[in-house]
């Protein structure tokens, strides 16, 4: 019998991408459709992107004037109240576009059987990371198992049948490709434009210096008899790192991939499966959530979504988010994209890249809190590369020190403003937000050596902010020009506008970064004149303002919102993922944040619902947080690119619906459920801060608190219990409701609390 909190089940094949089941080992991504007759297994490699460093160099050319004088011209226009002139000048800092994460190809399995399939079942077991399909057809019972092994670096599919079966494999790709013995040779484009960008060639191949990378798929099979066959596949690309031109040939890529395939085949299916499960469970079983199931849990997963009040469904989405992180983000790889590592569109929405004004950050919110610190590593390492590229952008675009990034990035570390509306393009705070992940990794692990390595990246982001701040007429420091990502206000001419002074998000991010830099210097015992300047500047950054409706203002002035129910909650970043606003330390600001959320309403696109879960959890509003969990667990009926959406959160395969598919909401929902059960951002360890009444019984294992503490929680109508294990000796305050109790923790020793 399947576990309702750790398995997905369907009684029909996937008709669309958003019904297929995802597998991955961090590098190779596979979507399993489970189709009798011709099975489709859609393939990705996390390093297969369009473009190259040379493409990047050409596309980065600015559209107009840049440098410190150009910045001052925009500031002068803003100060004069000429927002249209300010927006016009701001577009001069923009350039072309970042590159796209590409589909690699498809493995098609042609079954030599005829007739309709019956007794059909398709499953994804989250506890083993194995996808299975079984059915009866043509007098045969067919069973298919598939997994992607991280240790072996291969994708494995085994087909068994009750009698002799003939299965033939084919490899195809949307990219330029050539079928060869035991594989497929692939050439990536030099440039792929985002679908929303007009007036440019959509997909461009080149034989010149900007030639795209080579790639290959290797495929072999083995059989022990007429009733079974095992296919083993691996991939390789020419990608090296963001600054290095990919020069490896297609044939060299094939040789690398085929070496892995042959080594795996020599070991046999059972050994590969056992090794895969052991490796995967070492991560997955660190933390699982179990909530009681209703009768709806026996339904196929897509039908279960009509019963979002089933607590087990909330537990499933929590566990699924952790599964997806393990599948898409492993040490040594690239960060997860807007779609994790799963994309089948040659010109994908928003290029399936790194959208770093919320989405990439959200992808990694559950990394530390749900005990997957290793899976955080790809982003943490990537930030060093992004900082190197961002130093050139800070100097050339703004005449500023330090490093900067804007709202888009890619495998080549694009850091300049893209060609587009200033409301998303001209936002130079991505680096300021992203480096918080460096601090968070230290805060949860206590890894001082890591913090030492991260310090130059933290310091460089703060150095840019120090240059970017400008003195305002009242003597405070602010930002100009400033935008609040993707949102607009109504300007004096009655039309929407985005450029202004000191968005709340800008100042919250900069203040937080300065605080973190001062704290880092203290931890590391650093003497640095810049740290003193950070501390001094921090004192001149004003707190957020409360507007005429009791809301937390999004901008320095109480400006009318163009879209009152906008999906971005940027001005609440100090509440989550920041820690500047809490119900205890800043009750008035917390009340204003509550009012803001009430005014915005619940209805939103999938990832926005996920952010709102986290925000309500930080406000200890268990009823609202649970309401948003239920909203997220609503089946989307819209696969178009209208990102206003229908207020539904997921597709039939439980992947987040923006729409279209974006994976950030899956990770955000997992993080939000963790925040409902454990919080540590204030310094206290707060147990059950937003536990909803609808979950009267449950167990969660392996949550992590800042300071390096692992927490197991169990609750029922008879009482609540917590077991805490610290990585190092420490005394912490445990908060439960209104009670605050100091507790001395001895490293490695379980401390049991009955509440």
Helices (H), ranges, 9-167: 53-59, 68-79, 83-90
3-class SS of residue 553: coil
Question: Which pLDDT does position 691 carry in this prediction?
Answer: 98
3-class SS of residue 508: helix
How far apart (Å, rounded) are the C-alpha atoms in residues 650 and 366?
18
Domain 7-50+100-289 has CATH 2.70.98.50: yes
pLDDT digits (tens, 9 = 90+) for 359-371: 999 999 999 999 9
Contacts of 653 (CB under 8 A, 6+ apart): 8, 14, 18, 19, 20, 21, 22, 301
CATH topology classification for 68-94+353-359+377-601? Glycosyltransferase (1.50.10)
Query: In this model, does residue 639 exceed pLDDT 60?
Result: no
pLDDT digits (tens, 9 = 90+) for 200-248: 899 999 999 999 999 999 999 999 999 999 999 999 999 999 999 999 9
Question: Which pLDDT does position 114 carry in this prediction?
Answer: 86
637: confidence class by pLDDT, cuts 50, 70, 90: confident
Measured in Å, how far apart are the chain's first and last C-alpha atoms? 34
Contacts of 331 (CB under 8 A, 6+ apart): 26, 374, 375, 377, 378
Query: In this model, does residue 404 exceed pLDDT 60?
Result: yes
Q: Residues 743-748: what's their mean pLDDT?
A: 97
Question: Which pLDDT does position 196 carry in this prediction?
Answer: 86
Contact 568, 487 (CB under 8 A): yes
Question: Which pLDDT does position 1 carry in this prediction?
Answer: 56
Question: Which pLDDT does position 251 carry in this prediction?
Answer: 98
Query: In this model, does residue 643 exceed pLDDT 80?
Result: no
415: number of Cβ within 10 Å:
29
pLDDT digits (tens, 9 = 90+) for 648-689: 689 999 999 988 999 999 999 999 999 999 999 999 999 999
Whole-model pTM: value is 0.98
pLDDT digits (tens, 9 = 90+) for 499-527: 999 999 999 999 999 999 999 999 999 99
Contacts of 698 (CB under 8 A, 6+ apart): 289, 290, 291, 292, 311, 315, 713, 714, 715
Contact 284, 326 (CB under 8 A): yes
638: confidence class by pLDDT, cuts 50, 70, 90: low
Q: Residues 284-289: what's their mean pLDDT?
A: 98
Short-list 443, 510, 679, CA closest to 584 = 679
Domain ranges of the chain: 7-50+100-289, 68-94+353-359+377-601, 698-754
Task: Record the tokens describing residue 717, joined without a space.
Answer: 């109508």
Q: Residues 598-614: what's their mean pLDDT?
A: 95
Q: Residues 3-22: what's their mean pLDDT?
A: 96
Q: Residues 184-201: what's their mean pLDDT?
A: 92
How far apart (Å, rounded) are the C-alpha atoms in residues 708 and 729?
10
645: confidence class by pLDDT, cuts 50, 70, 90: very low
């Amino acid at each position: 019998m399947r576990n309702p909190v750790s398995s997905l089940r369907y009684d029909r094949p996937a008709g669309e991408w958003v019904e297929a089941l995802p597998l991955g080992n961090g590098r190779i991504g596979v979507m399993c459709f489970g189709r009798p007759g011709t099975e489709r297994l859609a393939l990705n490699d996390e390093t297969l992107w369009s473009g190259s460093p040379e493409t990047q160099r050409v596309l980065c050319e600015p559209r107009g004037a840049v440098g410190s004088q150009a910045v001052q011209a925009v500031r002068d226009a803003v100060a004069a109240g000429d927002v249209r002139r300010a927006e016009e000048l701001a577009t001069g800092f923009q350039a072309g576009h970042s590159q796209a994460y590409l589909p690699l190809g498809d493995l098609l399995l042609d079954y030599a059987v005829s007739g309709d399939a019956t007794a059909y079942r398709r499953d994804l077991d989250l506890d083993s990371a194995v996808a299975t399909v079984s059915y009866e057809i043509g007098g045969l019972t067919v069973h298919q198992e598939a997994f992607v092994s991280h240790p072996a670096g291969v994708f494995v599919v085994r087909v068994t049948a009750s009698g002799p079966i003939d299965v033939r494999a084919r490899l195809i790709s949307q990219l330029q490709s050539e079928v060869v013995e035991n594989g497929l040779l692939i050439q990536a484009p030099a440039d792929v434009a985002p679908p929303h960008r007009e007036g440019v060639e959509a997909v461009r191949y080149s034989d010149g210096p900007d030639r795209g990378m080579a790639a290959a798929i290797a495929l072999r099979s083995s059989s022990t008899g007429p009733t079974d066959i095992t296919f083993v596949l691996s991939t390789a690309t020419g990608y090296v790192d963001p600054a290095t031109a990919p020069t490896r040939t297609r044939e060299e890529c094939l040789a690398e991939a085929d070496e892995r395939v042959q080594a795996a085949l020599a070991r046999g299916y059972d050994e590969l499966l056992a090794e895969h499960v052991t490796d995967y469970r070492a991560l997955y079983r660190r933390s699982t959530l179990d909530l009681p199931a209703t009768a709806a849990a026996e339904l196929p997963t897509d039908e279960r979504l009509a019963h979002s009040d089933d607590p087990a469904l909330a537990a499933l989405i929590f566990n699924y988010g952790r599964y997806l992180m393990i599948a898409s983000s492993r040490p040594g790889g690239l960060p997860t994209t807007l779609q994790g590592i799963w994309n089948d569109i040659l010109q994908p929405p928003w290029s399936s890249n790194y959208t770093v004004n919320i989405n990439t950050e959200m992808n990694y919110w559950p990394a530390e809190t749900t005990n997957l610190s290793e899976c955080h590593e790809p982003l943490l390492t990537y930030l060093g590369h992004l900082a190197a590229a961002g130093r050139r952008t800070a100097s050339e675009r703004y005449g500023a020190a330090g490093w900067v990034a804007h709202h888009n990035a890619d495998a080549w570390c694009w850091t300049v403003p893209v060609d587009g509306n200033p409301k998303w393009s001209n936002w130079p705070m991505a680096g300021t937000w992203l480096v918080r992940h460096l601090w968070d990794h230290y805060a949860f692990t206590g890894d001082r050596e890591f913090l030492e390595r991260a310090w130059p990246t933290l310091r460089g982001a703060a150095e840019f902010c120090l240059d970017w701040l400008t003195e305002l007429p009242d003597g405070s420091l602010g930002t100009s020009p400033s935008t609040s990502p993707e949102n607009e206000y109504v300007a004096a001419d009655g039309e929407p506008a985005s450029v202004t002074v000191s968005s709340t998000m800008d100042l919250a991010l900069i203040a937080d970064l300065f605080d973190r830099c001062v704290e880092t210097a203290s931890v590391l015992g650093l003497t640095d004149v810049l740290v003193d300047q950070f501390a001094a500047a921090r004192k001149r950054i004003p707190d957020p303002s409360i507007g005429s409706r009791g809301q937390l203002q999004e901008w320095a002035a109480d400006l009318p919102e163009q879209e009152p129910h906008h999906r971005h909650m940027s001005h609440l970043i100090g509440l989550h993922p920041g820690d500047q606003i809490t119900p205890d330390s800043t009750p008035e600001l917390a009340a204003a944040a509550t009012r803001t959320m009430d005014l915005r309403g619940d209805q939103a696109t999938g990832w926005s619902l996920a952010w709102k879960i986290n925000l309500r959890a930080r406000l200890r509003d268990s009823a609202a947080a649970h309401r948003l969990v239920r909203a997220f667990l609503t089946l989307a009926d819209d696969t178009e690119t209208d990102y206003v959406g229908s207020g539904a959160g997921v597709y039939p395969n439980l992947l987040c619906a923006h729409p279209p598919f974006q994976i950030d909401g899956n990770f955000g929902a997992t993080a939000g459920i963790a925040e409902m059960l454990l919080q540590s951002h204030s310094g206290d360890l707060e147990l059950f801060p937003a536990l909803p009444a609808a979950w009267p019984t449950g167990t969660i294992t392996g949550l992590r608190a800042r300071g390096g503490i692992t927490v197991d929680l169990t609750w029922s109508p008879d009482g609540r219990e917590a077991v805490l294990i610290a990585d190092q000796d420490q005394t912490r305050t445990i908060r439960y409701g209104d009670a605050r109790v100091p507790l001395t923790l001895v490293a490695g020793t379980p401390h049991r609390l009955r509440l």
